Every structure is written in C-alpha cells, then in structure tokens.
A and B are shown apart, each in its own frame.
Chain A
C-alpha cells in the first residue's frame, strides 16, 4: 500500500463526499474533508484491506476523532498507521 493506494481508497470509500477529488497525502481528513460517516466507512474499508493483506487493522483509538493527533488527520498519517500495524502484526 502506498500514498496513491490510500488516496484512491479514501476516494472510493467516501465517494459521496464532494470535496475529495483534489486531495493529496497532506489533505485534512478528520475535521476537514470527511465527516463521521465517511470515517466509519473508511475504517471498514481499511479493515477489509488489512484482511486481504493478512493482518488485523484496529481503528479504535482515543485519538481517532482528534483533528490534531488523529491517525485519520491526513492520508499520510493514515498510511503510516496502517503500515505500523501491518509491521507489528508481522512481528507477532
């Protein structure tokens, strides 16, 4: 999974959101371009992606809805978290 993959995943998942056509890896997601419904859809899409890749993605986080610290704050931070969980899972 790379930046382009995650941006495409966000666009595909949140297709009802108007302002996603121009997003890049630094665009604001939570508090910016996606609403809470989009966030939930994105969580499920990431979980499915992780299942395909053979690991479990846990989206429950105290920081999930924080626009400052959330892993959902941008495609870049989300990709970083996704890869972190994938790497942790491999170690187990």
Chain B
C-alpha cells in the first residue's frame, strides 16, 4: 500500500488514480472529506492528527511500501507584499507539513524493511522565479530535507527522492497566466508543458524495485 498525502485533488489525485489503475492500493490523506476506502481526513500541518493516522495504520497492520507527499499550497506574490498569515501558511504546509509526514510515516517503512519516500518540490526553486519567493523557500527546504533524510534512512533500505515538476495545470496554478506559464516552460530543457501523467511516470520509476539505489536525488521533470 502507498500513502499519498494531498491524494484527493490535483497532482496527488492523478497519482492515486494512476497507481490504482496498476492495481496498487493507496491510502489518501487530505483536508477533504472523502467517502472512499482508505481515506483519512487530516491536514498535514496537524502533527497529532497525523500521529493518529499512523497509530491506526499500525493497529490495522497495514504494510506500507511508500509515502508520496503531494499535499501543498502555492502563493504567487512578491515577498514584500505577502501577508504574514500567507507566509506562515505556505511554510507550515509545504515545509513543516512535509517534514511531519516524513517523520511520522517513515517508521512504517522501517517496519517493512524497505520503502520509498517521494517528496515534491518545483522547478521554480532552481529557476529562482520572482514573485514566488516564499513558496520557493518552502520547497527549497523540502529539497534540503529530502537529501538529508535520505542519508538517515539509507540503512533501512528506504530511498528518499524529490520530484521538481515544471508547471502542471492543476488548481495550484490557477493564479498564473498562460503567458507566465509559457515563460517558465521556455526555461526547461524540454520545452513542453508537462502533464500529470509525465509526473506519474517518474513516480512509477522511483517506486520500481530496480530504483532501490536512487536516493537523495532531485528530479526535474522536463529538465533544467
């Protein structure tokens, strides 16, 4: 089974769908109420809530093979004009929430004797896009955390990698104009707009048992 945070919307939902099509069972965690099997309503910024999910999974003796952390929010704004509450929310959700889920669910993989953790960053970090500095700071933190956490878990046969997609048309991008998206795509090596399926392909590669030596890596989908 694979845990997918943010698995009921956007990229996370697409990944869940893709995994389910392959016959892989998923457990979704998100703020949304969902009447589907194996869904937990929990905000990733709520440490105790995530702990409850962890305890429940232990109780049910679920065998967890991977944790995919898609939950995240975006804020496109100049740092100087970003309200404090938005700064707090972006950092808390994207960085601290990701650290929480990594920390809390990693022991499920350790129990399993192997596993994969996939975190999400963005090409915006490497491009240092203006107008996204707070969002970029949160995701740069995720990249750094993933590299270090990969070292902490390597001895347990657990890989930790980070995927940094270019712009993908999900709700996360609703505040960005087509012109801005085109400009970002122009700075990728492959100058094509990526689809959720392109990200799913990378997820599947990282989940593959042959990828057990790929860890601590940042993968730019589309190239940078």
Contact = CB atoms under 8 A, between A and B. Distances in A.
B156 A47 contact: no
A36 interface: yes
B46 interface: no
16 contacts: A36-B152, A37-B155, A37-B156, A40-B107, A40-B110, A40-B152, A40-B156, A41-B110, A43-B107, A44-B107, A44-B110, A44-B111, A47-B107, A51-B58, A56-B55, A60-B103
What DSSP secondary structure best describes chain B's contact surface?
helix
A60 B138 CA distance: 23
Contacts of B107: 40, 43-44, 47
A55 to B, nearest CB: 12
Contacts of B111: 44
A4 B72 CA distance: 47
A68 B108 CA distance: 29
A36 B55 CA distance: 23
Interface in A29-68: 36-37, 40-41, 43-44, 47, 51, 56, 60
Nearest to B103: A60
Nearest to B155: A37
A46 to B, nearest CB: 11
Q: Chain A: interface residue count, which band?
A: 10 to 19
Given A37-B156, A43-B107, A44-B110, 10 more contacts: A36-B152, A37-B155, A40-B152, A40-B156, A44-B107, A44-B111, A47-B107, A51-B58, A56-B55, A60-B103
Interface residues of B, number: 9
Contacts of B156: 37, 40
Contacts of A44: 107, 110-111
A44 B110 CA distance: 9
A59 to B, nearest CB: 9
A36 B111 CA distance: 16
Interface in B17-41: none
A36 B103 CA distance: 14
Nearest to A35: B155
Contacts of A41: 110
Interface string B132-158: 000000000000000000001001100
A47 B110 CA distance: 13
Contacts of B58: 51
A41 B107 CA distance: 9
Interface in B93-119: 103, 107, 110-111
B70 to A, nearest CB: 24
A36 B106 CA distance: 15
Contacts of B55: 56
B148 to A, nearest CB: 12
Contacts of A51: 58
